[in-house]
Amino acid sequence: MATRTRFAPSPTGPLHIGGLRTALFCFLHARNNRGDFILRIEDTDQKRFVPGAEEYILESLSWCGITPDEGPSFGGDFGPYRQSERSALYKPYVEQLLRDGHAYYAFDTSDELTTWRRSMQKQGNASPKYSASTRAYLKNSLSLSAQEVEERIQRGDDYVVRFKTPMAGEVRFYDEIRGWIVFQCHELDDKVLMKSDGLPTYHLANVVDDHLMEITDVIRGEEWLPSTPLHVQLYEALGWTMPNFAHLPLILKPDGKGKLSKRDGDRLGFPVFPIDWYNPKDSKELIAGGYKERGFEAPAIVNFLALLGWNPGNNQEIFSLEDLIETFSLERVNKSGAKFDYQKACWFNSEYLNHYTSQEKVSTILELFPIAKGRSENDLEFVFNLASERIQFKHEIKDTIAYLFEKPGILEDKGVKKAWKTEKVAHLEDCMQRIQIANTEFSAPGLETMIKQYIEEKSISFGQLLPPLRLSLTGTLKGPSIFDIMSFLGLPECLERVELAKKNYTSKTI
RNA sequence: GGCCCCUUCGUCUAUCGGCUAGGACGCCAGGUUUUCAUCCUGGAAAGAGGGGUUCGAUUCCCCUAGGGGCUACCA
């Protein structure tokens, strides 16, 4: 049977980075097996629905190149792919479970149950369960007379349908990542399958949909492990074949306690969302920043996320999405949670920046410096390379080498104090004149030779000549090779800048 | 509290009984460089503890400890 995986987020807010990784792993597993990856929107909780969240999920996946084969706005033979549009579908299965004695009606209101739980807690029961041992004391079709049940339903009383967990026995299932897992039935509770609004809960909906959509592998976060025995029992009760289960380790906070949550972004100073998230009620209010807008390359994020919990078994660290599809396997997914390491994410980003193709380099520079239009592609790539080895993010290029395209204006104070000395400036002038007169090829190696000759002749050091030269050309004392910079600027521009610096700063010369 | 999952350098991880425990990020030192950065070389840094099984355990089993998840008419 062809592999089919699904990512089933609920549109209750922006997708966070852990969810994105889950989607990635689902996608990789499907593609690795030449199967299909399905996106399904689990919007059965009307109270928590957030407008714009679905679009956000779509955009995030698209940014990362995780393209669903089926899903809302992607089509497919197993739709609709929003659970809210499937609500009528679940009824027959609820009835089947009711008829076969696997489920029952329960009439307790939320308030009643809260009260009941509180009183049980007072008696020392830390987590009272609606279960085989307590259901007889609650209001349901198992404890009430058939007549009363009938009356209540006729009358229109609110009710939910609960799963009837067996009193004894055990539920076991095989997890692709963790191996066999066993739960005792008496530890389980009678989970709600259908809410009083007539919509299914996640538990029922995901089982029914996974079956109907012929999902072969259920890959989801570890937080679902405790409710998997319910799902397993549901498959059995409905007489369906079980999918494979794989529960992914969680992504943890870098500073210790607990899983990375949506709130952590502000506190820790790095994004926990793929892209910017704006207030659904006010599209101008940015609520949480994203990796994309922070300047991250999508392939870097994908690469980083893939290695958080998975590894190829060798020392390879750089993987394109295609590489990952090729190499990924659930067998090599780790069991334990992984702390999020923002620094490493930054490192991946700089790696990707340095592996840009020539074409990407050219268009990046063009985009950052419209004024560069007309320059040769070689020149533009050259500029990119000068900048890229001293930065981690694309947008940092601009500040780093803006002087290649415009005169520096003011020279940094510290540099002036340090390098702009009478004697040095005299040498600078002298040397520039020499270069001008020589009129040889204005290339980096040529310039280097010429300047070397000059300092040897004058018995001075690079340190006496180059800093003032750099300062006058770039306005700062740090940066790429000054010979590279000069060759890019060209002789006339170099002369002008030196002249300008002399004019503006000579008075400050000591 | 109960149930379930997990446990190798600070962090991400390799090791599927033979280990002088490997790699990466970060950190430190040295080299290259007019400078910053890159780059190169080197370094510090780990098997939670206790029992077993075994000729031999980081690797298998048990206990303890620690971490995490779940414990809703939310997903």
Among A427, A453, A458, A457, which Cα is nearest to A440's? A453
- 3-state SS, residue A76: coil
Instruction: Answer yes or no: is A300 within a domain.
Output: no
The ipTM, to two decimals, is 0.95
The answer, yes or no, to whether the previous bond of A467 is cis (omega within 30 of 0) is no
Q: Indicate if A364 and A444 belong to the same structural domain.
A: no
On whether both A365 and A486 belong to a single domain, the answer is no
Q: Distance in angstroms, CA of A368 to C1' of B45?
A: 42
Among A28, A39, A159, CA closest to A104: A159
Q: What is the CATH number of the domain that holds A185?
A: 3.90.800.10
**Hits for CB < 7 Å against strand B across A residues 266-305:** none
From the list A164, A191, A262, A361, the catalytic residue is A262
Same domain membership, residue A161 and residue A227: yes
pLDDT at site A420: 82
* Residues A222 and A308: beta-carbon distance below 8 Å: no
| Cα A207 to Cα A216: distance, rounded to the nearest angstrom | 12
3-state secondary structure of A172: strand
Q: Is the CB of A317 under 7 A from strand B?
A: yes
Domain identity same for A380 and A450:
no
Kindly report the pTM of this predicted structure.
Answer: 0.94
Question: Both A385 and A508 in a single domain?
Answer: no
Q: Does one domain contain both A119 and A182?
A: yes
* Domain of A362, in residue numbers: 356-404
Q: Say whether both A392 and A462 belong to one domain.
A: no
Can you read off the two tokens belonging to residue A136?
Answer: 């007889």
Residue finishing a domain among A248, A267, A290: A248
Is there contact between A151 and strand B, defined as CB under 7 Å from any strand atom?
A: no
Spatial distance between the Cα atoms of A350 and A300, rounded to a whole number of angstroms: 8
Amino acid occupying residue A278? Y
The answer for A239, left when phi > 0, alpha when psi is -120 to 50, beta otherwise, is left
> Is residue A368 assigned to a domain?
yes
Looking at residue A437, which CATH number applies to its domain? 1.10.10.350
The total domain count for chain A is 3
* Helix, coil or strand: residue A442: coil
For nucleotide B38, the protein residue with its alpha carbon nearest to C1' is A389
Q: Is residue A484 part of a domain?
A: yes
A161, A103 contact by CB (below 8 A): yes
Asked whether residue A210 is domain-assigned, the answer is no
Beta A170-175 vs A36-39: how paired, if at all?
unpaired
Q: Looking at the structure, do residues A99 and A163 belong to the same domain, yes or no?
A: yes
- Is the Cβ–Cβ distance between A87 and A199 less than 8 Å? yes
Strands (E), A185-336: 192-194, 217-221, 244-248, 251-252, 277-279, 282-288
Is the distance from CB of A291 to CB of A59 less than 8 angstroms? no
Cross-strand pairs, A252: A259, A339
Nucleotide nearest to A256 (CA to C1'): B67
CB-proximal positions of chain B, under 7 Å? 1-8, 10-15, 22-26, 33-38, 67-75
Q: Determine the 3-state secondary structure of A163 from DSSP.
A: strand
Any catalytic annotation for residue A91?
no
Asked if residue A134 and residue A241 are part of one domain, the reply reads yes
Q: How far is CA A314 from CA A12, A32, A265, A332, A338, in A?
A: 38, 18, 32, 11, 19
Cβ atoms of A46 and A197 within 8 Å: the answer is: yes
Q: How far is the CA of A349 from the C1' of B70 (A)?
A: 35
Kind and range of the H or E run holding A483? helix A482-489
Same domain, A95 and A236: yes
Q: Which residues numbered 330-389 in chain A sit less than 7 A from strand B, measured from CB?
A: 332, 334-339, 341, 343-344, 347, 389
Alpha-helix runs per DSSP H in A79-198: 87-99, 110-122, 146-155
A127 burial level (CB within 10 Å; 0-12, 13-18, 19+): exposed
| Proximity of residue A75 CB to strand B below 7 A | no
Q: What is the pLDDT of residue A507?
A: 62
| A491 and A378 within one domain | no
Domain boundary among A404, A430, A465: A404
Please answer whether residues A373 and A366 qualify as being in contact, where contact means their C-beta atoms are separated by less than 8 angstroms.
yes
What the block records as the tokens of A397 is: 């290029």
What's the pLDDT score for residue A385?
93
The reply to whether A172 has its C-beta less than 7 Å from any atom of strand B is no
- The pLDDT assigned to A389 comes to 87
Q: Kindly state whether residue A59 falls inside one of the protein's structural domains.
A: no
Mean pLDDT per 10-residue section of chain A, whose length is 510 residues = 96 96 98 98 94 96 98 93 95 97 96 94 89 94 95 95 95 95 95 96 97 98 97 98 97 89 87 95 93 96 97 94 97 96 96 92 94 91 92 93 90 80 83 84 86 86 89 91 92 90 69
A244 lies in the same domain as A131: yes
DSSP H/E element including A434: helix A422-438
